[in-house]
Amino acid sequence: MATDKRRKTPAQKAKTAAARIARAAGRRRLQLWAAAATAASSAGYPLNVALTITWTTLQTGDKRLGHILDIGTVERERRLWSELRMVAARAGVEWIAARAPEHDRTRGLHLHLAMHLPDSRAMRDALAVVEGLTGAPAVWCDLRGRTLRGGGRVTQGIVAMSACGGWLLQRHVPAGNGSGEHLAKYAAKGTGKAKVEGQHRLSNKLAARARVAMTQGKPIAARSRPISATTPHMVAKTNNGALRPLSGALRPIDKQSTEIKHGARR
């Protein structure tokens, strides 16, 4: 019986091992982040706001003075994270958030950030922070959340977006089986990790809730505290009349935080 005598080179073996480790890390992150989001919802702090920033698009668009695009990607993420954490502090709520850098062929390097904001006032505050740090003002703003159609998709809860398309701010729509858990899972999965710069990270408060949930090892019943940032009037219908959750349309240094560090590209 003939056998294949080909053998993998050391470099090929190392690449296979690295891919296997990355997949295992991704599975653990997915489990942890889902537990974290469920625990936060149970405590009344659901992940109800999503921010997507495409750095490469922002670099090519018109920019206002005061932006942070001239500094490194890692430092940009830290600065954005810190400023948005202050938004939560001014609103009087815990900083419940998760961030996930990602890389794909279409958008290149981009960032997903899910967080909890209690009301429209905090949303306006967050919007001002995003506009200031990116140097890209919103082309329009609708705090009720708009439904946009394009590319074969229906995207709900759009609060604001930049003229160049470099960033998008969304309210989460909890109807139609949408939830903060779906949002966390979407961010946790990630792709293109080998080309990513920055950190996958949970805020201190969210990481602590995740550790408690994972230690207990029991299902957590998620509940959403009524908040003005996710009111029923934001629920939109698709062409066939069915409700569509925001989570289904999403395509687009704290010592105790959970993070995965990625080296900067040379």
| Beta-carbon count within 10 A of 109 CB | 20
Confidence of residue 131 (pLDDT cuts 50, 70, 90): very high
Judge whether 149 and 156 are in contact, CB under 8 Å: no
> pLDDT: is 143 or 198 the higher one?
143
**What local confidence, expressed as pLDDT, does residue 119 receive?**
94
CA dist 143 and 146 (Å) reads 8
Average pLDDT of span 40-50: 90
Asked if 112 and 167 touch (Cβ cutoff 8 Å), the reply is: no
* Cα(24)–Cα(204) distance, integer angstroms: 23
The token duo for 243 is: 């409700």
* Residue 2: per-residue pLDDT: 56
Tell me the H-state helices in the chain.
10-42, 55-60, 73-91, 120-134, 180-189, 204-216
**What are the b/e assignments for 112-126, b being 16+ CB within 10 Å?**
bbbbbbbebebbbbb
Mind listing the pLDDT tens digit for each residue in 192-239? Answer: 455 556 678 899 999 998 888 878 765 444 444 433 433 333 333 344
Query: Strand ranges (DSSP E) for 136-197?
Result: 138-150, 153-162, 167-171
For residue 59, pLDDT beyond 80:
yes
Beta-carbon contacts of residue 227 (< 8 Å; ≥ 6 apart): 48, 118, 119
Reported as a pLDDT band with limits 50, 70 and 90, residue 97 is very high
Q: Give the Cα separation of 61 and 17 in Å (integer).
A: 40
- pLDDT tier for residue 116 given thresholds of 50, 70 and 90: very high
Diameter of the chain measured on Cα atoms: 74
Helix/strand/coil percentages in the chain, nearest 5? 40, 25, 35
Structure confidence at residue 65 (pLDDT): 85
Distance between CA atoms of residues 259 and 111, nearest Å = 14
Residue 251, pLDDT > 50, answer no
